[in-house]
Every structure is written in C-alpha cells, then in structure tokens.
Amino acid sequence: MIKPEQIAGASETSQQQALFVWSSLNRDKYPQLKWLHAIPNANSHKQVAEGVRGGVADIFLPHSKYAGNMSGRIEYCGLYVEMKTEKRRKEKNGGLSEDQIEFGKYALLAGYQWHCCYGWTEARDRILEYLNG
C-alpha cells in the first residue's frame, strides 16, 4: 500500500497527489472524503470555453459544516483548498495570484471555507479541522 509520504515531492502536483492518497486511506473513518475532488486549472482556450476558470481553488470538499451540534445552522457549505508548495509561502501574497485571492474572498463571502495550504500535511490538517468541527 502506497503512503502519502512516499509520493510527496517538491512539486505542487506531488503534494496534491499525496493528499489524495491520504484521503483514500482515511475514507472508512471519514466517508465524506469519498467526494473530495480536484478542480482543473484553466490552461487552454478550450478549457475556458468549457467553463474551467482560473483562480478557482485546486480542491473542493462538498460537505456542509454545521455551527454547533444543536443549532442545525450551516456555518459553511463546503471547503475549498488552494495548494501551494512550502517554498511559495514567503512569496508576495503567499504565492497566490490576484484571481486566486479574489476567488478566496468570494468563496468566504458565499458561505464556503477557503484555505491556502502549503503542502499536503497542512491541507490534511485543515480538512480534519473542518470535518471534526
């Protein structure tokens, strides 16, 4: 069985792959992870024409988070995660493009939780915080 640490390299792609390996290994404990999915980035005119948008976060977990156990009020409609490598943390805006910053602000205003995570372990921790309340 492959472990996330075995494929987590220096690239954003390998960090994201490691997160999805972790997700697969933890679906029994967190069945919501079955629906965790990647969102492609727009890198061609065809993709833009098909509706792919630049700036949209890399990963989405479509699971509502409720405020408190008794209120029944939805605190967040789902969780967006923008993946970055650790070396990008010290760049201007944490390595985020203007479109990514704009999307993050929009997602928060629209009732979604949004985080920029530097590596798969940070993303894993944010997802666990979200799922565990």
**What is the count of structural domains for the chain?**
1
> What is the model's pLDDT at position 50?
86
> What is the model's pLDDT at position 68?
63
Q: Which domain does 117 fall in, by range?
A: 4-132
> Of residues 100 and 73, which shows the higher confidence score?
100
Average pLDDT over residues 22-29: 98
Average pLDDT over the chain, rounded to an integer = 93
Comparing C-alpha atoms, which of 102, 88, 32 is closest to residue 60? 32
> What is the model's pLDDT at position 31?
97
Helix ranges (H only) for the chain are 4-7, 12-25, 45-49, 98-109, 120-132
**CATH number for 8:** 3.40.1350.10
Query: Hey, what are 126's tokens?
Result: 């944010």
3-state secondary structure of 66: strand
Alpha-carbon span 12 to 15, nearest angstrom:
5
Average pLDDT over residues 54-75: 84
> What is the model's pLDDT at position 110?
97
Alpha-carbon span 11 to 80, nearest angstrom:
20
Calculate what percentage of the chain has a pLDDT beyond 70.
95
> What is the model's pLDDT at position 35?
98
Backbone angles phi, psi at 63, to 5 degrees: -145, 120
Radius of gyration of the chain (CA): 15
When pLDDT is cut at 50, 70 and 90, the band that residue 63 belongs to is: very high
> What is the model's pLDDT at position 9?
94
Comparing C-alpha atoms, which of 104, 101, 83, 103 is closest to residue 23? 83
> Of residues 42 and 118, which shows the higher confidence score?
118
Distances (CA, A) of 75 to 17, 61, 79, 89: 28, 14, 11, 28
Alpha-carbon span 122 to 115, nearest angstrom:
10
Average pLDDT over residues 66-85: 84
